[in-house]
Amino acid sequence: MGFDINKIREDFPILSRKVNGYPFVYLDNAATSQKPKIVIDSIVDYYSNYNSNIHRGVHSVSQEATDGYESARQTIQTHFNAKYSHEIIFTSGTTHSINLVANGFESLLNSGDEIIISGLEHHSNIVPWQMMCEKNGAIIKVIPMNENGELNLSVFEKLLCEKTKLVFVNHISNALGIINPVKKIIKKAHEFGAVVLIDGAQASSHFKTDLQDLDADFYTTSAHKLCGPTGVGMLYGKEKWLKKMPPYQGGGEMISTVTFEKTTYADLPHKFEAGTPNIAGVIGFGEAVNYLNKIGFDDIENHESSLLDYATKKLKTIPNIKIYGDSLNKTSVISFNIGEIHAYDIGSILDKFGIAVRTGQHCAQPIMDYYNISGTVRVSFSFYNTIEEIDHLYKSLLQAISMLS
């Protein structure tokens, strides 16, 4: 396709609208990405031309829907380089995926077993494990972070022991944009026989992840983070662990045989896909992955890196600005506060200039507690953002500061 930012922006209908009389500047990509027309059209096409339930019908339209759904699974398997297509489980998103694994390990752990999570986690990678531990008596240990938002790996290595059964770390911090050294973490955890889940929700839109090279036991992401629809996501799990885990939900599709005396379960991946799935969402997910690959992840990384570098240098000229997670090893997220001005007030004024940012704790309260703050302003860039939008952000921030000081 070639990286032509103007042509790329034409693919996204929402980017041409105005907000409060200004051109819409969308800098909330860590929360959700915008959707190209080709993804929107694929969903409309499914509902318009071959809407039918999958796997269960012998009629032609059902077969077409099944082919579209399973083709998306193969697309995602190829993109992430999973060994088998049945290691790709479709879920409603990363939160659903993590809860599925937590439910599966509830019966596989014993009281006193230890699990390790990082201090940079989204609530979705904290709360499910706390709920699991309340039921089976496992114990949570935490890898601490430092002032730059980086994990203290020396402490992590000391936490690892024969009691460590599970390790859970996000690939990229949603609140700070820090890229964690997950390959090193996985290798160290495996030396103690621990199972590793990587929350890839924030990573999958910025670069390609080779799951066989990474060697994670589980990896999760949400389609809406990488230009796909909401309400659908992926859980990758190594075949051996997916076979050991019990089903998360019971119902149609996930069964082999059902009698009133006993039920046997279907093979992977259907064992974990009970009921009618989000067929249109999965098809849109596959289309989004194809779209991003046509643009090219090398070009995406290079453009977003340029945006991050330009914006960071520009924002650092603002008096009293404090950037959290000011590390070299990060992706296109800048989380900041300005003096004593409340983040919500800054976000509200930026909205008046047509700029969408995120304010608050970003579902990462432990990070905010570490810095002893109530929240931050977070700007997060995607490959369809521009230098001109950053200039508009900068000028608008100066005006917001003058109004709030």
What sign does the CA torsion over 224, 229, 230, 232 have?
negative
* Residue 385 CB neighbours (<10 A): 24
**Residues with Cβ within 8 Å of residue 267, at least 6 apart in sequence:** 86, 256
Tell me if 265 sits within 8 A of 256, measured CB to CB.
yes
CA 300 – CA 384 distance, rounded (Å): 9
**Residue 144 φ/ψ, nearest 5 degrees:** -75, 160
Tell me if 85 sits within 8 A of 74, measured CB to CB.
yes
What sign does the CA torsion over 148, 154, 159, 164 have?
positive
Both tokens of 133, joined, read 């531990």
Both tokens of 256, joined, read 């082999």
Tell me if 15 sits within 8 A of 389, measured CB to CB.
no
363 catalytic, yes or no?
Answer: yes
Both tokens of 138, joined, read 């496992």
Residue numbers annotated as active site: 363
